């Protein structure tokens, strides 16, 4: 079978999606798309046996029922240039294949992440991992940038001095700050990429890694648009409710006007509408 070729994706292969002041994300290769997900789910069928609408319905069914294996048939390989502190958050997603630029073998480039004024915030008083929305005075922002640049310049200058004295690269690099840019090739299947994006484009994610997540999301939409639509509908913009929350909803909701016809008029597929009505019936009965 011929390799999947998606014109919209071919047009952006190797294109740099700029991130932060000096970083980027590039899609350098991919395997499969929506068609590959459908083929994996219908393993006993040949290509072209279903319509586009049926393919979309199947992908949405797989997504809402967490049948994840077919999504693993799609793979994307990225080339990323990222600050080291972002890479250390990113690497926690252990479901990808990674090969990173090595400071043991190569000289690290004199490139550092420098935040914009708008990215400088106070520590949040309610979230130990986050930033507050409180406005930082311009004079303090300027001071922060001055300190960051001074430390980066000094650290890299000392690094160059040690290299000039023929100190081993693996040792000379140890004082370089985590604002230094690194690069890697990162290959992952679509199921695990969706999990990465669910966490990293969330508004609560750190701004710097969110920038990369949003760039990768734009690329992913082109590789598997129907899968992305289902992911957005059922995961990114969906919600889960606890038992107590469902009890409150059951007490408050008037569901009498929800019919299969009204749901299909809103864009639900037939099976999708029936499943939603089953959820409503279960909610009204208290889950019995």
Domain extents for the chain?
1-113+181-238, 114-178, 243-284
Q: Is residue 181 within 8 Å of 18, Cβ to Cβ?
A: no
Q: Which residues are catalytic?
A: 200
Question: Interior CA angle at 205 toward 202 and 208, to 5°?
Answer: 115
Q: Is residue 110 within 8 Å of 60, Cβ to Cβ?
A: no
Strand pairing class (23-31; 97-100): unpaired
List, for residues 198-257, the tens digit of each pLDDT value. 999 999 999 999 999 999 999 999 999 999 999 999 999 998 888 888 888 888 887 778
In percent, how much of the chain has pLDDT > 90? 72
Architecture in CATH for domain 1-113+181-238: 2-Layer Sandwich (3.30)
Residues 6+ apart with CB under 8 A from 48: none
* pLDDT given for residue 282 in this prediction: 82
List, for residues 180-209, the tens digit of each pLDDT value. 999 999 999 999 999 999 999 999 999 999
Closest CA to 27 of 76, 83, 100, 95: 76
Say how far apart CA 223 and CA 36 lie, in whole Å: 11
Closest CA to 43 of 14, 77, 69: 69
Question: Interior CA angle at 12 toward 227 and 187, to 5°?
Answer: 60
List, for residues 259-274, the tens digit of each pLDDT value. 888 888 888 888 888 8
Phi–psi pair at 183, nearest 5 degrees: -135, 150
Supply the DSSP string of 236-249, one letter for each residue: IT-----HHHHHHH
Q: Is residue 92 within 8 Å of 58, Cβ to Cβ?
A: no
Closest CA to 90 of 174, 145, 33, 19: 19
Helix (H, G, I), strand (E, B) or coil at 140: helix
pTM: 0.90
């Amino acid at each position: 079978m011929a390799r999947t070729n998606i014109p919209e994706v071919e047009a952006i292969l190797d294109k740099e999606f700029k991130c932060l002041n000096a970083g980027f994300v590039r899609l350098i290769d991919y395997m499969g798309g929506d068609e590959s997900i459908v083929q994996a789910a219908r393993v006993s069928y040949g290509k072209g046996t279903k319509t586009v609408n049926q393919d979309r319905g199947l992908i949405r069914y797989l997504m809402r029922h967490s049948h994840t294996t077919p999504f693993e048939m799609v793979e994307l390989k990225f080339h990323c240039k990222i600050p080291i502190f972002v890479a250390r958050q990113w690497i926690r997603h252990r479901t990808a294949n990674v090969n990173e630029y090595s400071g043991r073998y190569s000289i690290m480039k004199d490139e550092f992440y420098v935040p914009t004024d708008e990215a400088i915030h106070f520590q949040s008083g309610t979230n130990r991992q986050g930033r507050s929305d409180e406005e930082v005075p311009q004079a303090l922002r300027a001071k922060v940038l001055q300190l960051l640049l001074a430390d980066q310049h000094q650290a890299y200058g000392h690094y160059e001095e040690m290299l000039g004295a023929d100190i081993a690269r693996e040792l000379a690099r140890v004082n370089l700050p985590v604002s230094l840019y690194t690069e890697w090739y990162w290959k992952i299947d679509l199921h695990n990429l969706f999990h990465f994006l669910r966490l990293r484009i969330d508004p609560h994610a750190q701004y710097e890694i969110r920038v990369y997540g949003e760039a990768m999301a734009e690329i992913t939409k082109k590789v598997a648009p129907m899968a992305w639509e289902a992911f957005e509908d059922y995961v990114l913009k969906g919600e889960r409710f606890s038992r107590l929350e469902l009890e409150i909803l059951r007490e408050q909701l008037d569901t009498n006007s929800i019919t299969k016809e009204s749901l299909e008029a809103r864009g639900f597929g037939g099976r999708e509408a029936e499943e939603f009505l089953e959820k409503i019936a279960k909610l009204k009965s208290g889950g019995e």
